[in-house]
Amino acid sequence: MTKLLLSIHVIAAILAVGPIAVAASMFPRFAKQADDERSAAIARVLHRICRGYAVFGIAVPVFGIATGAQLGVLTDAWLLVSIALTAIAAGVLALVILPAQRRLLDEPREMLGTVSRLAMTTGIFNVLWAVVVVLMIVRPGSTTGA
C-alpha cells in the first residue's frame, strides 16, 4: 500500500506542480504584451492552466500525508518542514499568484510593477517547491532508509 500511495503522490506532484510552475513562470512574459491579441490569449490559457492544476494539486499533500502515515514518519522534522513549505507555496499560489494573474487579465493597463512582482513571487513559489523536493529526497535525519 505504501508504494501505491507514494507512486500516486509523486505522479500527482509531477503532473500538478510541474505545469503550474511552468505556466506561472511564462505568464508575466505574455501579460506584458497584452496589447497583442495572441499574447493576451496565451496569458489567459496560462492562467487557466494554473487555476485548473491548482485544484488537482490538492492531491499532492493528501497522498503525501497518507504516505507519511503509512511510513510512520508524520512527526519527522523533514516531513513537517515539507508540509509547512507546501502550505506556504499553496498560499502564495492561491492568495498572490492567481489573483495577480486575474488582475492583469482584467486590467492589462495597470501592470507597471505588477508584472515584475508577479514574476518574483512565481520564482519564490518555484523555489519553495524545489526545497520540498530536496527534502523529500534527502530526508535529513530520517531512519527510513534513503
- Domain extents in the chain: 2-138
Distance (Å) of CA 102 to CA 8, 9, 36, 129 = 31, 29, 17, 22
- Taking the CA atoms of the chain, what radius of gyration do you get in angstroms? 17
* Residue corresponding to grid cell 492561491: 94
Total-model pTM: 0.90
Tens digit of each residue's pLDDT, the chain (146 residues)? 889 999 999 999 999 999 999 999 999 999 988 788 999 999 999 999 999 999 999 999 999 999 999 999 999 999 999 999 999 999 999 999 999 999 999 987 767 688 999 999 999 999 999 999 999 999 887 766 55
* Integer Cα distance of 50 and 94 in angstroms: 10
* Integer Cα distance of 44 and 27 in angstroms: 9
pLDDT given at position 108 = 76
Contact assessment for residue 43 and residue 34, using Cβ atoms and an 8 Å cutoff: yes
